């Protein structure tokens, strides 16, 4: 006996309303629905879609998709969230150079026939969804603050050439005090070298060295004569500093809330056991992975990041050493890259793996991407086995004498003795050792 027919519903989203098209199993159109926004539109969609098994396929356009995906997924419906790029390419295939709402919805509905590997949309608990959004917002504020610091640095180099060499951290407390009060060289000279240095030393808790004092005074004496009023330049710098401090204050409030949500999502805060991984990156990575049981295996998780090599096959032959696919969540990929860059300085095995890839001729960024893949496998094992991250036994013995970071290079050199006889291998992609394999443990 033939089972019930499975219908697909493609939904094209809009700011004023949505258009849905129902298709049968063969891709033929069987109906159209014009939906309003909000709860009424969702109710109309469920009523007119009818009973039986229905696949809801929605393009991830802006933030409109959330008002449909969240309640449908919570109700147990089969919901698929599709990348807008894939939808756009399919629309071009169906009707080139012509774009209407009907065409969009039809193309989206037929994705179920063309792509058998659509992943169901996953919606976590309110705490998990809030954690994910706040982590993205915090990262965005961090990037904005970084750009603000660049603008401040460029402006300062125009006013006082060489000022960037005085402080290692150009926006530390003593540096900001100088920018706000004594950016005018004439005012700094009136105060005097000793009094200026003493004031900055107090603000820096005694860490403003005589060498930095000498550099600063040379910069002040070498200040160029610009056709600007110094008071106006100081006002411009102060305005930029106010913007930077506002961003930092907002980000600090976000980080505090992120820390609270992370504790609610994972009371054991397991990813903080990864050496070098701070509270924010641990929370951000956890928010994207979500419920670890939703991933069939570690290969599926790694493939979703886009950090795996691209597969190119023709006539039964596969090309090796391809670049990474770069598919999936770009924010998640960025967080993993930063995490790998940090953790490799603390985990001797990851450091040895990184140095081995560099020895084979890989670019620094390609090697870090490979380390990120390896780190993600270990993170999967930590969350799946509900245990803590472990370093090597050799490193545990050293913990009583020195920190992990201090001894990691020494341990890495020891591990690299085993591969000294290997011939260098030039490659433009990942080596074979980074191909996806299921982990056997947590380390």
What does the alpha-carbon distance between residue 368 and residue 389 come to, in Å, rounded to a whole number?
A: 19
The answer to whether 10 touches 23, Cβ cutoff 8 Å, is yes
In tens, the pLDDT along 113-134 reads: 777 677 788 888 899 999 999 9
CA distances, 438 to each of 62, 271, 301, 323, 400 (Å): 35, 19, 11, 21, 33
Beta strands in 195-354, from DSSP E residues, in sequence order? 312-314, 317-319
What's domain 6-123's architecture?
Answer: 2-Layer Sandwich (3.30)
Who contacts 157 (Cβ-Cβ below 8 Å, separation ≥6)? Answer: 163, 164
The pLDDT assigned to 4 comes to 60
Here the contacts of 152-157 (C-beta below 8 Å, separation 24 or greater) are 152/179, 152/237, 152/240, 152/241, 152/244, 155/236, 155/237, 155/240, 156/183, 156/237
φ and ψ of 178, to 5 deg: -65, -45
Q: Are 73 and 94 in contact (CB under 8 A)?
A: no
Structure token digits, residue 267: 């009371």
Query: How far is Cα 418 from Cα 169, in angstroms, rounded to an integer?
Result: 40
Nearby residues of 401 by Cβ (< 8 Å), 6 or more positions away = 407
253-294: pLDDT as tens digits: 999 999 999 999 999 999 999 998 889 999 999 999 999 998
Contact indicator for 74, 47 with CB cutoff of 8 Å = no
Q: Is the dihedral of CA 79, 80, 81, 85 positive or negative?
A: negative
Q: Of the segments 9-23, 83-97, 342-356, which one has the largest average pLDDT value?
A: 342-356
What is the distance between the alpha carbons of residues 348 and 236, in angstroms, rounded to a whole number? 47
**Confidence check: pLDDT of 440 > 60:** no
- Contact (CB, 8 A) for 302 and 377: yes
Q: What is the pLDDT of residue 83?
A: 80
Q: What is the pLDDT of residues 328-337, one digit of tens each?
A: 888 999 999 9
| pLDDT-derived band at 357, boundaries 50, 70, 90 | very high
Contacts of 259 (CB under 8 A, 6+ apart): 279, 283
Mean of the pLDDT values across residues 68-91?
83
């Amino acid at each position: 006996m033939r089972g019930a027919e499975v219908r697909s519903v493609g939904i094209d989203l809009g700011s004023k309303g949505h258009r849905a098209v129902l298709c049968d199993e063969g891709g033929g159109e069987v109906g159209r629905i014009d939906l309003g926004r909000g709860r009424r539109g969702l109710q109309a969609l469920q009523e007119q879609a009818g009973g039986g098994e229905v696949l809801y396929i929605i393009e991830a356009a802006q933030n409109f998709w959330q008002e449909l995906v969240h309640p449908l997924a919570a109700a147990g419906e089969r919901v698929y969230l599709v990348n807008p790029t894939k939808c756009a390419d399919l629309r071009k295939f169906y009707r080139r150079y012509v774009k209407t709402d009907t065409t969009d919805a039809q193309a989206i509905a037929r994705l179920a026939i063309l792509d058998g590997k659509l992943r169901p949309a996953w919606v976590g608990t309110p705490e998990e969804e809030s954690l994910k959004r706040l982590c993205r917002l915090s990262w965005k504020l961090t990037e904005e603050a970084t750009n603000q610091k660049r603008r401040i640095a460029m402006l300062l180099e125009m006013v006082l050439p060489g000022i960037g060499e005085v402080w290692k951290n150009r926006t530390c407390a003593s540096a900001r005090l100088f920018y706000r009060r004594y950016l005018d060289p004439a005012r700094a000279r009136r105060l005097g070298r000793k009094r200026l240095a003493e004031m900055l030393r107090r603000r820096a808790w005694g860490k403003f060295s005589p060498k930095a004092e000498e550099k600063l005074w040379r910069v002040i004496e070498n200040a160029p004569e610009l056709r600007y009023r110094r008071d106006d330049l100081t006002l411009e710098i102060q305005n930029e500093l106010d913007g930077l401090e506002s961003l930092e204050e907002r980000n600090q409030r976000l980080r505090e809330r992120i820390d609270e949500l992370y504790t609610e999502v994972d009371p054991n805060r397991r990813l903080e056991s990864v050496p070098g991984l701070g509270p924010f990156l641990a929370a951000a990575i956890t928010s994207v992975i979500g419920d670890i049981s939703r991933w069939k295996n570690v290969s599926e998780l790694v493939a979703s990041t886009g950090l795996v090599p691209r597969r190119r096959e023709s006539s039964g032959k596969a090309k090796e050493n391809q670049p990474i696919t770069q598919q999936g969540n770009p924010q998640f990929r960025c967080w993993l890259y930063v995490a790998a860059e940090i953790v490799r300085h603390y985990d001797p095995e990851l450091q040895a793996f990184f140095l081995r890839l560099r020895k084979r001729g890989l670019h620094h960024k390609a090697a870090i991407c490979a380390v990120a893949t390896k780190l993600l496998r270990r993170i999967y094992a930590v969350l799946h086995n509900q245990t803590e991250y472990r370093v090597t036994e050799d490193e545990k013995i050293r913990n009583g004498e020195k920190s992990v970071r201090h001894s990691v290079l020494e341990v890495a050199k020891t591990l690299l003795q085993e591969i000294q006889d290997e011939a260098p291998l030039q490659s433009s992609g990942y080596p074979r050792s980074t191909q996806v394999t299921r982990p056997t443990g947590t380390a």
